[in-house]
C-alpha cells in the first residue's frame, strides 16, 4: 500500500505531556499520550473525573499547548501556529461543547449562537438566518428570543451545541456534555449529538465518565494514569 493511499488522521497527539503548577508543586496530568482520530469518526474518551479528559480535549482543539510532544491537525502542528492563526483555526475548524454551557446571560439564544459566526465576520443577517436554522434543527425554534435564565439545562446545552456548529466545524469536541443534566435529558442530548454526527459527518469526540454515554459511540478509548488505552489493553 502506498503512503498516499493511507488516510491521515484528522487530529493526532504524539507523545503529549501536560503539567500544571499548583503552588510549589507540579502536577503532571498527561504522560505521553498518543491518539489518532480519523476524519468522520465518532469516538468516546472515557475516564474518571480528574483523569485529564478535559485537558486532552483542550489540547486537541488548540485551546492549550502541551509541555512536550505535539498535536497535529490535518498534518499541521498546532504548536507552531501564531496566536492569531490558532484563534482562526479554533473558530473555523473546531466546535466546542462544554459541561457548563458557557452562554452569555445578556444574550438570547439566537445571539449566543451567532457569536462564532460574527467573530468570523459573517454578515449579521446571514449569521442570524443560519443560527435560526440550527436552533430549529436542535428543537429550539420556539425559544429563539429566550435568554439562558429562561431556558432549562437541556435547552441551554442545545443552544451550546448550535453555537458549536454554526461555522460548520470538521471536529466537534464535547466535554462531559451531559454532566449537568438528569439522565433523561442527558440521553436526549446524546441522541441529538449522534443524529447530528450522522447528518453532518462531523468528526465527534465526546469525553465522559459515564459508561452509558460512551457505549453510544462506535469507538472508545480510556484515559488512565495519564495515558490513553484502547479496549483490550
pLDDT (tens digit, 9 = 90+) per residue, 41-58? 999 999 888 889 999 999
Q: Is 201 left (phi over 0), alpha (psi -120 to 50) or beta?
A: left
Q: Return the pLDDT at 22.
A: 82
The CA distance from 110 to 113, in Å, is 5
For residue 20 the three cell numbers come to 500544571
The CA distance from 53 to 97, in Å, is 14
Q: Return the pLDDT at 228.
A: 86
For residue 75 the three cell numbers come to 498534518
Q: Return the pLDDT at 5.
A: 39
Q: Return the pLDDT at 229.
A: 78
Q: Report domain extents, the chain.
A: 3-223
Q: Return the pLDDT at 89.
A: 94
| CB count in 10 Å sphere of residue 55 | 23
Look up the CATH architecture of domain 3-223.
3-Layer(aba) Sandwich (3.40)
Q: Return the pLDDT at 231.
A: 57
Q: Return the pLDDT at 1.
A: 36
Q: CA Rg, the chain, in Å?
A: 18
The CA distance from 168 to 33, in Å, is 28
The CA distance from 128 to 105, in Å, is 18
Phi and psi angles of residue 108, each rounded to the nearest 5 degrees, phi first: -80, 180
C-alpha dihedral sign at 227, 228, 232, 233:
negative
> For residue 45, what are the β-bridge partners?
207, 221
**Is residue 94 exposed (0-12), middle (13-18) or buried (19+ Cβ within 10 Å)?**
buried
Q: Return the pLDDT at 4.
A: 44
Residues of the chain falling short of pLDDT 50: 1-5, 232-233
The CA distance from 76 to 74, in Å, is 6
Q: Among residues 58, 150, 169, which one has the least CA distance to residue 112?
A: 150
Amino acid at each position: 500500500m502506498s503512503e498516499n493511499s493511507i488516510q491521515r488522521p484528522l487530529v493526532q497527539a504524539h507523545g503529549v505531556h501536560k503539567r500544571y503548577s499548583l503552588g510549589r508543586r507540579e502536577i503532571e496530568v498527561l504522560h505521553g499520550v498518543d491518539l489518532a482520530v480519523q476524519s468522520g469518526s465518532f469516538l468516546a474518551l472515557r475516564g474518571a473525573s480528574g483523569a485529564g479528559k478535559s485537558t486532552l480535549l483542550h489540547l486537541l482543539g488548540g485551546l492549550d499547548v502541551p509541555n512536550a510532544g505535539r498535536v497535529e491537525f490535518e498534518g499541521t502542528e498546532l504548536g507552531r501556529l501564531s496566536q492569531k492563526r490558532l484563534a482562526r483555526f479554533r473558530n473555523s475548524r473546531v466546535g466546542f461543547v462544554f459541561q457548563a454551557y458557557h452562554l452569555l446571560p445578556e444574550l438570547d439564544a439566537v445571539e449566543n449562537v451567532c457569536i462564532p459566526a460574527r467573530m468570523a465576520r459573517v454578515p449579521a443577517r446571514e449569521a442570524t438566518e443560519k443560527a435560526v436554522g440550527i436552533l430549529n434543527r436542535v428543537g429550539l425554534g420556539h425559544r429563539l428570543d429566550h435568554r439562558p435564565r429562561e431556558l432549562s439545562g437541556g435547552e441551554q446545552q442545545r443552544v451550546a451545541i448550535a453555537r458549536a456548529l454554526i461555522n460548520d466545524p470538521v471536529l466537534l469536541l464535547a466535554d462531559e456534555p451531559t454532566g449537568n443534566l438528569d439522565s433523561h435529558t442527558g440521553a436526549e442530548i446524546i441522541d441529538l449529538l449522534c443524529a447530528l454526527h450522522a447528518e453532518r459527518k462531523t468528526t465527534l469526540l465526546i469525553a465522559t465518565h459515564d459508561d452509558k454515554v460512551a457505549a453510544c459511540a462506535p469507538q472508545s478509548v480510556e484515559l488512565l494514569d495519564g495515558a490513553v488505552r484502547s479496549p483490550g489493553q
